[in-house]
Amino acid sequence: MLFRRQGFPEEGELVLCTVTNVQFHSVFCNLDEYEKKSGMIHISEVSPGRIRNIRDYVKEGKKVVCAILRINEERGHIDLSLRRVNESQKRRKTDEIKQEQKAEKIVEMLATELKKKFEDVYKEVSKPILKDYDMLHLAFDEVVESDLKLESLGLDKKLVDKLTVIIKDKIKPKEVMISGDFTIKSYAEDGLDVVKTALQNAEKVSKQLSIKYEGGGRYLVKVIAKEYKEAEDILKKATNEVTSYVENHEGEVVFERHEK
């Protein structure tokens, strides 16, 4: 990965590291995202509890997500912790790095198309973007999600057109999906029509909602949207439409939400 931050990280920040040297009571790592920066993990910060063999946890060359404990800029010392990073934080940091690697791959594709060196094109693209964005992929995401014009950040118009095409081809808009089941019973003479109308009312709420019959009076409802709040609002309105109509026509509805 070519991406590098300048200066020192902040205390509490999560960083991706590469283990370079494992000793009896300490582990030394390079900070992958920072230019020429390394840190140390004391054995007490490797894992909770007693550690008999530190190499059961880390080995040279291993990638680890660490938290910054302390920084001494004068001496250039950075103390790291491995045990203070939970699985959720580790996944988020790893995903962030993967997204940045994907962004760099897009720049590499641009370089190939332009028949230029990857490193040269990366500098040309990243320099103006990183003045306003913490990482390259954040700007690329906005190109897809918000139609960001990269020339507004200072990129050469000759690069922008080709780069935007590649970005929109390789990065798809983010989506979330929530779902659940309606179990509907109608005691009216025209019960089938009641159910049919109730579900049609629900489908009119949004084109992002779909309903499928599963059998036994059960109907699967799915909502796909850009954000959870939007999806939740659509699902709530649809549920209210079905419940209100059925209950007003001699029926009952049970809605069971699927776990996320």
What is the distance between the alpha carbons of residues 122 and 250, in angstroms, rounded to a whole number?
66
Angle between helices 87-114 and 136-145 (to 10 degrees): 80
pLDDT in tens, 15-53: 999 999 999 999 999 999 999 999 999 999 999 989 999
What CATH code would you report for 14-85?
Answer: 2.40.50.140
Question: Is the pLDDT assigned to residue 158 strictly greater than 90?
Answer: no
Give the domain ranges of the chain: 14-85, 88-170, 176-257
Give the pairing of strands 26-31 and 38-42: antiparallel
Angle at 95 between CA 91 and CA 99, to 5 degrees: 175
pTM, rounded to two decimals? 0.71
Tell me what percent of the residues of the chain surpass a pLDDT of 70: 100
Compute the average pLDDT of residues 236-252.
95
The rounded mean pLDDT for the chain is 95
pLDDT at 260: 63
What is the distance between the alpha carbons of residues 37 and 68, in angstroms, rounded to a whole number?
12
Q: What share of the chain is helix, strand, coil (3-state, %, to 5)?
A: 40, 25, 30
pLDDT in tens, 184-224: 999 999 999 999 999 999 999 999 999 999 998 999 999 99
What CATH code would you report for 88-170?
Answer: 1.10.150.190
Quickly state the pLDDT bin for 174 (edges 50, 70, 90): confident
First CA to last CA distance, the chain: 33
pLDDT at 173: 85
- In this structure, CATH architecture of domain 176-257: 2-Layer Sandwich (3.30)
